[in-house]
Amino acid sequence: MMTKTYKLETLTCPSCMAKIEGALIKIKGVKETEVLFNSSKAKVTFDESIVESEDIKLVIERLGYRVLGEK
């Protein structure tokens, strides 16, 4: 298991947070996700043998939010 934190462009409302969390948890291999509205970060725990970090970023970006970085 791996946990990464993705810095997102500024989230404008709590529904943005819920939208991202809902999409991420549906990804096969993602075990846990937490999107922090105030700091515009998404913390994701996933099985790297099933899903790659790039796939997670792609899902976020398809929702219309830019990923500014990861660590």
DSSP for the chain, please give it. -EEEEEEESPP-SHHHHHHHHHHHHTSTTEEEEEEETTTTEEEEEE-TTT--HHHHHHHHHHTT--EEEE-
Q: Read off the pLDDT band of 38 (50, 70, 90).
A: confident
The CATH code that applies to domain 2-70 is 3.30.70.100
Rounded to an integer, what distance in angstroms lies between the CA atom of residue 43 and that of residue 35? Answer: 6
Kindly tell me if the per-residue pLDDT of 37 is higher than 90.
no
Q: What is the pTM of this model?
A: 0.89
